[in-house]
Chain A
C-alpha cells in the first residue's frame, strides 16, 4: 500500500548501465525512490519492510532475501560490487559460461534493523530481531544470531551468538544480554542479609526489555508507513 514507486516499474537504468536486479517486493513494503538494485540475482523483500533512500543492493554473488518487518536505513550497502575489471568485461559475470564461484545467498530475517551506512557483505545471515547499527561492517558469510546487536562502527568477522551485544570499536567487546530473570546482585543480597531487611521483590525477566524494543520498532514502521501515505495523498 505504501509503496513509493515500486522499483520494478522504474526503468531509470538504461540498457548500457549495470544490470538491474529482478526485485520481488511485497505490496506492503515501503521502498524509497532511489534505492539501487544491481546484479544478476534476484532480491526478495518481505511484508512491511522499510527501505530508506540510497540503500544499495548488489546481487553479483547471490540472491538477497529480506524478511518481513525489517528497516534498512539510508546508504546501507548489502552485497558487494564486483571488482571493476570484471564489471567492464562482462556485465553478467556469474551467469553464463564461466565456472561461477559458489553462489552465496544473503539472508536477512524478520524484524531486523540495519543502520545507516552499514555494510553487509554477501553470504551473511542475520537472524530475526537483530540490530546492526550505523557504520557497522559484517564480513562475508558471518552469522548474526537473533536478538543480537552489533553496535556502530564494529567490524564483525566471526559468528555472533544470539542475544549477544558486540560493542566498542573494531572487533569489539561482547556481552550477553539477559533473557530470563536474573538473581539479585551479590551486593544487594549481602546488604539485605546484614541489615536484616527483606529482599526486594524479584525483578521481571530481561526479555521484557527486548519485547518493548520490538514493539517500539513495530510502531515506528507503522507510523512511517502512515506518514508516507499522507505525503503521497498531498
Chain B
C-alpha cells in the first residue's frame, strides 16, 4: 500500500450492497428494544435483536459472518482512509466517494475569484470572461500592464498588453495591444471573432436561388451539372469577392446552417418529426438512401419498379460556395507550411507544440498563431447520498470562502482508529524496554503487541465490540487476538465542562490511566489505556510464515508443502503485508430529536434511542520478513 505502516483503512459497506438497500437502512435506524445504558450490549444480544427486528436480519447475519478479506481484489475498491469517508445521517451509513453524487454549486474563475453565473458558462466557453488569461506558450498567468508608463510618460493611459512574467511572452509577440485595461476578453473577442455581418443572409440567399433553379435534385450527377452551370453563371467561389475566407468558427457556423437547411429541405415528408432535426434515423431518410443506391447502380428493377414511378426523392447536396462554409485547401498550403518550418526565422522554437495547440484554433501551427487563453473556470460541488439524496457536503457558494455549510465527514460519527506497536517485548513478561519492532520486517511466529486506539468524536459515549477472525484470511495465516474486545469510549464532551465539573471523575480516570500505562503488561479482558474520549486496547498478533520461507514447517502451518512450493512461484505481490480485518460494532444512545422532531417534544428525559453501526476496518500492521 502507499501508506507507511501502521495504517488503518475503513471499508465502505457499499461494496456489499451496490444498490441502496432499504432493509439495511431500516435496520440501522434504531433497534426496537430498549437496552439498559449501563450494561454494554454483548454481541449475542445485538444479533438477537437483529433477528427479531426484521425479516432481512437473516441475510444480514449471513453477510456479517463472512469475513472481510483485505486481499480480495474487490476490497481494493471499498477500503478508504478514515478521513476520506462521509457519513449520511439519513441512512446512518458510511459513504465513500462511490456512493455519493456530485452537483455543481457554482462556477468561478480561480484567478480573479469571480463567480460566473451558470447561464454564462456555456457562452463563455467555460473560461473566465474578464481579464484573466494564461500564457499560450507556458500557461503561466498573464498580467495586464501598460507600455506607455514604462517608457517614461507618467500617465497611466496608453496601450496595454498582456505579458507573461515567466517566459516574457507578451501580446506584442502577436502584434496585439489593448486600448483599455478592463474587459480584455471582449476586446480580444472583437479583434478575433469574425462573424461577417451579412454572411448568413448571403448563404441563405444563395441556397435559395439554387433551390429555385432546380428544386428536386435527382442525382449526384445533376448536382455536378448544376454546379457547372453555376460556374458559368457566376465567378467561381475562389474569385468571388463577396465570399472572403472565413475564420474556423464562422465556417463551422455556416456549414452547420447549410446542412440544417439541406436536411430540412430534402426530407420527404414534412410531418416527419424525426427528420426535422437530424434526419438519418427516420424511415424517410432510409428510403431516400436506398433509392439513391438503386438509381445510381441501375438495379432499381430488382428492388421493385414501383418506386421509380414515385417522384424522385431530393438529394442532399454539399456546400458549394465559401459563404456556405466550403473551404478549398490552398494549392500549395502544405508546401508553404513546410517552407515556413524550414525557414531560419521560424526554426524549432517557432513551431507550436502539441500541448500549446491543444486549446487553440486548429489552424494554429506556429507560435505566432497562438492567442492568449482565458483561464478555465472551476467548480464548487455539493455531494449527495446516492440512496437518499440527503446532502452530505455543501460548500459556500461564494468562491472567496473556503467554508462549508454542510459537511458530514465520517470521523465525526465513527471513532478514529490509530495503530501503534507496543514497545515491550512480549516473550518475557518482565517490563523490559525492548526496541519497537521494525514494522517493515516482522519476524514470523514471534508475537507482537499492537495498540489500537479508538477516538470518539461524538458527544455520546460509545460501546464498541471488536471482532477479528482468529486467523487472517489468505495464505499467510497470522493469528490475531483482541485482548479486550468489548469496551466503552467516553463522550467527546467539552474539555472545559469536565474541568469545571469537579475533580472527582476525571481525576480517577486519569490516575487509572496512569497506573495502566506504568504497569505495561497486556492482560486479557482489560483495556490498555483510557482517556476522556479515547480507549486503547491491545491486539496480540503472531505473524504467520510466508509460504516457502525457511520458517516453513516449524510451526503453525500444517499445510502441504508441495502446494506451497508451487504457490511460491506464482507468489502474489505484497503477500507479506500483514493486514488484519477487524469488525467494529458500535452502539450508542443518541438523542432521538434528530430523526423524529415530533416525538422529541413529548418528553425530554427518555427520548434516547439506541443506535448501532457496524463496519469492517483493516489494520495494516507491517510486512512479514521472509526468514526467521
Contacts and interface: CB of A to CB of B under 8 A. Distances in A.
Contacts of A211: 150-151
Contact of A185 (B347, B353, B369): B369
Interface of B: 137-138, 147, 150-151, 159, 161, 163, 166-177, 191-197, 199, 244-247, 250, 347-350, 353, 361, 363, 367-369, 371
B175 A175 contact: no
A4 interface: no
Contacts of A181: 172, 175
Given A194-B250, A209-B161, A203 B168 contact: no
A168 B159 CA distance: 30
B349 A212 contact: no
Contacts of B199: 194
Interface in A168-204: 168, 173-178, 181-188, 190-196, 200-204
A188 B191 contact: yes
A167 B166 contact: yes
A151 interface: yes
A182 B174 contact: yes
A223 to B, nearest CB: 17
Contacts of B349: 164, 174-176
Contact of A204 (B159, B169, B347): B159
Contacts of A193: 194, 244-245
B289 to A, nearest CB: 36
Nearest to B345: A176
A187 B368 contact: no
A193 B243 CA distance: 11
B194 A190 contact: yes
A177 B192 CA distance: 23
B167 A151 contact: yes
B167 A194 contact: no
Contacts of A175: 137-138, 167, 169, 349, 367
Contact of B159 (A174, A185, A194, A203): A203
A205 B172 contact: yes
Contacts of A182: 172-175, 368
Interface of A: 149, 151, 164-165, 167-168, 173-178, 181-188, 190-196, 200-206, 208-209, 211-212, 215-216
Contact of A208 (B151, B245, B348): B151
Contact of A194 (B176, B245, B367, B368): B245
A203 B175 contact: yes
A117 to B, nearest CB: 18
Contacts of B175: 181-185, 188, 202-203
A178 B340 CA distance: 18
Q: Which 4 A-B pairs have the closest CB atoms?
A: A212-B150, A191-B194, A185-B174, A194-B194
Of A151, A194, A202, the most chain B CB neighbours within 10 A belong to A194
Contacts of A184: 174-176
A178 B150 contact: no
Contacts of B367: 175
Given A151-B166, A176-B349, A176-B350, A209 B172 contact: yes
A185 B174 CA distance: 5
Contacts of B191: 187-188, 191-192, 200
14 contacts: A165-B167, A175-B167, A175-B169, A176-B349, A181-B175, A184-B176, A188-B174, A192-B191, A194-B246, A195-B195, A200-B176, A200-B177, A204-B159, A209-B168
B224 to A, nearest CB: 29
Given A178-B172, A194-B199, A208-B172, 15 more contacts: A178-B173, A181-B172, A181-B175, A185-B175, A185-B176, A187-B247, A191-B192, A191-B247, A203-B171, A203-B175, A204-B177, A205-B172, A209-B163, A212-B150, A215-B150
Contacts of A185: 174-176, 192, 368-369, 371
B194 A195 contact: yes
A173 B135 CA distance: 14
Contacts of A167: 137-138, 166-167
Contacts of A195: 194-197
A190 B245 CA distance: 8
A139 to B, nearest CB: 21
A146 to B, nearest CB: 14
Contacts of B244: 193-194
Nearest to B187: A200
A201 B138 CA distance: 27
Which of B163, B170, B193, B246: most chain A Cβ within 10 A? B170
A151 B350 CA distance: 19
B86 to A, nearest CB: 38
A6 to B, nearest CB: 35
Nearest to A212: B150
Nearest to A207: B172
A187 B192 contact: yes
A190 to B, nearest CB: 5
B177 A203 contact: yes
B176 A188 contact: yes
Nearest to B137: A175
A151 B165 CA distance: 10
A212 B159 CA distance: 14
A211 B168 CA distance: 13
Most buried by B among A174, A183, A184, A188: A188
B329 to A, nearest CB: 16
Contacts of A176: 347, 349-350
A203 B175 CA distance: 5
Given A151-B167, A184-B175, A196 B371 contact: no
A151 to B, nearest CB: 6
A108 B255 CA distance: 59
B247 A190 contact: yes
A208 B147 contact: yes
Nearest to A214: B150
A185 B193 CA distance: 12
Contacts of A215: 150
A79 to B, nearest CB: 28
A175 B369 CA distance: 14
A176 B366 CA distance: 12
Nearest to B140: A167
